[in-house]
Amino acid sequence: MAARRITASSINWSSLAERVPPNQKSNFQAFKSKSDVYLRSVIANPEEAPKIDWAYYKKLIPIPGLVDKFQSSYDALKVPYPTENLTPQIEVQAKETKAEIERFIKSSNDRITEYNKKIAHLKSLLPYDQMTMEDYREAFPDEALDPINRPTFWPHLPEDQLGYKPKDAPPSDH
């Protein structure tokens, strides 16, 4: 893969800035300024190294063959461009993240549907200030006081009832 000359940033900074939370704006600005400084330093340098005038050095240096040796060594020198091998890993990570996002969206939509059903049920009820205790027991049979079938002690809270066991209590042996 041949190296290509960087002449402009390929990052859409304004689009990226829209996604940065307010508490991270200063970090984002610092990152952008570092990126801009790097880009300016790359653009300030020429694309290719300046050509060496070997004839000038052959006239100047009296040792025969020394300049030719340096020239052949210099021409044989090839600095390898680093190979890019992280794209497959990034693509796998992107697919995993996309699948995770899709699962989150599906579960969120399921929760929204369930909450909308609860809202519709609540809207179909009488307003609380117009309900009697019987109306409340019909609307919420699990939460309403039922002194005949499920008598409770005042103040009618679960932890004040006989046989109450906290959810985080260890199981008893007897």
pLDDT in tens, 87-114: 999 999 999 999 999 999 999 999 999 9
State how far the Cα of 22 lies from the Cα of 20, in Å rounded to an integer: 6
**CA distances from residue 167 to 91, 157, 170 in whole angstroms, order as listed:** 44, 15, 8
In whole numbers, what is the pLDDT of the chain averaged over residues?
Answer: 88
Confidence (pLDDT) at 5: 67
Residue 7: is its pLDDT beyond 80?
A: no
Give percent above pLDDT 70 in the chain. Answer: 94
Residue 1: is its pLDDT beyond 60?
A: no
Residue 161: is its pLDDT beyond 60?
A: yes
pLDDT tens digits for 12-29? 889 999 999 999 999 999
> 42, 3 in Cβ contact below 8 A?
no
pLDDT tens digits for 118-156? 999 899 999 989 989 888 888 888 888 778 888 888 888
- Kindly list the domain boundaries of the chain, sorted by start residue: 12-45, 51-79
Residue 45: is its pLDDT beyond 80?
A: yes
